[in-house]
Chains A and B, each alone.
Chain A
Amino acid sequence: MVWDFIQNELLGMRWLKAIIYGFVNLCGLDTESRIGGTVAFLFLDLTKISILLCFLIFLISFIQTFFLPEKSRRIMGRFGGLGARVIGALLGTVTPFCSCSSIPIFMGFTAAGLPLGVTFSFLISSPMVDLGSLVLLMSIFGWKVAALYVLFGLVIAVLGGTVIEHLHMEDQIAEFIRNTMAADLPEIEVTFKDRVRSAWSQVVSTYRRLIPYILVGVLIGALIHNWIPEVWVTSVLGTRNPFGVILATVCGVPMYADIFGCIPISEALLAKGALLGVVLSFMMAVTTLSFPSLVMLAKAVKPKLLCVFVAICTLGIITVGYLFNHLQGLII
């Protein structure tokens, strides 16, 4: 009962849907019609994602003030072997990360003597699975999908790190990084007020940065939702195409977008009969690998390691996609 309320009203925001659809109807646009439906979808998703985004970023940034990379590095250094990679993947989910900071983080971790596998477990899980995606997925696809998404993401990160560790590719790290010395940094006292202030400034800067992606995402979502014939979607991304997951992953890899921009597109595709695994593998591919982040990483590692990294992520995402396709009946 209580859980249903949280799922439908708090996270799913059904009340908002009722208000917005009611309002659009009041304005004389029929929400069952194409134009009315497009307008309603646009407003609903834009409002819903904005509310979730601001609330989430605040909460997440607050939690993240406890896990700056400097501290995560120290925690990871205490573990060894597989355990370290699991910890790396888990810390990746809570440590603030953006692809532009992957180089300093990569340098800092390597220079501190962390094994390559641990660093990569962290680098894979950090963009793929974060607290924001967890709550957003819960809101739109339900908690089972969200929990499995996180679980599978962590598994890819740990496996990826393990493979890279066993390939012994330490010589594949750029010279300038291997020659770097890192100092350990004593923790700096942070007050509760500092944390709140820093979380709030994150909300403002992130929302400003993301709004174009969200707008584009919502716009595409609205178009798919109301204008693209269902049969197109099902034949390319649904049960009729066994290669849907591969197609979605390959399309998603070079794209650079935020998970908040992907959600409305995924939501609309799913409603039109795309398979769950196809939609989720697209989302994972977009967030984990992107052209700009690979260009960045190419400065830090040699081509061989870069290719291994891309291959592992792509294969992992495709596998998870097919797993989700098979589980779809059970979890939504």
Chain B
Amino acid sequence: MEIRSVKILGREGCRNCSGMHRNAQEILKERNIDAECIHVTDLQQIMAFGVMSLPGLVINDKVVSYGKILSKEDIRKYLGA
């Protein structure tokens, strides 16, 4: 799977959400994947994904996980590494 974009849906200033964002960035960097990695905190944008339970993980604009704090290992699995 070619990864074009990774989005973390989370709350502004939430430690768990920013942690997930950081971990995702690190994994992308480790694997030399040139994809955008954004922490989305705007509720309207989050709603558009259909997610209400945060944090959520979106890969290539597809929601793969929500309502769960993911560890670095979990994110790695979703990114297929």
Residues of A at the B interface (CB closer than 8 Å) are 68-70, 73, 96, 100-101, 103-105, 107-108, 111, 176, 179-185, 188, 194, 198, 201
Interface Cβ pair total, 8 Å cutoff: 65
User: Can you name 9 extra interface pairs (CB under 8 A) apart from A104-B54, A108-B50, A188-B64?
Assistant: A68-B66, A70-B67, A101-B53, A103-B43, A107-B43, A108-B52, A180-B44, A182-B50, A188-B65
Contacts of A105 in B (CB 8 A): 52
Quick one: closest B residue to A176, CB to CB? B44
Taken together as a complex, chains A and B put the C-alpha atoms of A184 and B48 apart, in Å, by: 9
Selected A-B contacts with CB under 8 Å, 6 pairs: A104-B52, A104-B53, A111-B47, A176-B44, A183-B48, A185-B63
Report the interface size for chain B: residues with CB under 8 A from the other chain. 19
Please tell me if the beta carbons of B47 and A180 are within 8 angstroms of each other in the complex. yes
| Contact (Cβ within 8 A) A70 B51 | yes
Q: Which residue of B lies closest to A110 (CB)?
A: B47
Contacts of A69 in B (CB 8 A): 52-53, 67
Answer whether residue B8 sits at the interface, using C-beta atoms and an 8 A cutoff.
no
Q: Is the CB of B52 within 8 A of A183?
A: no
Tell me which residues from 25 to 52 in chain B have a Cβ below 8 Å from any Cβ of chain A: 43-44, 46-52
Is the beta-carbon distance between A185 and B43 smaller than 8 angstroms?
A: no
- Check A201–B69 contact: CB distance below 8 A: yes
Which chain A residues border B67 with CB–CB below 8 Å? 68-70, 96
Minimum-distance CB pairs A-B, first 5: A185-B50, A183-B50, A108-B52, A69-B52, A104-B52
A104 touches B49 (CB 8 A): no
* CB–CB B47/A182 < 8 A: yes
Complex Cα gap A137–B57 (Å): 38
Least CB distance, A7 to chain B, in whole angstroms: 35
Check A70 against B65 for contact (C-beta < 8 Å). Answer: no
* A185 and B65 form a contact (CB under 8 A): no
B53 to chain A: which residues have CB within 8 Å? 68-70, 96, 101, 104
The 8 Å CB contact of A185, one of B51, B54, B69, is B51
User: Does B68 belong to the interface (CB within 8 Å)?
Assistant: yes
Complex alpha-carbon distance, A101 and B66, angstroms? 14
A113: shortest Cβ distance to chain B, in Å? 12
A182 and B63 contact, CB distance less than 8 A: no
B16 (CB) vs chain A CBs: closest residue:
A205
> Knowing A69-B53, A101-B53 touch, does A181 contact B48 (C-beta < 8 A)?
yes
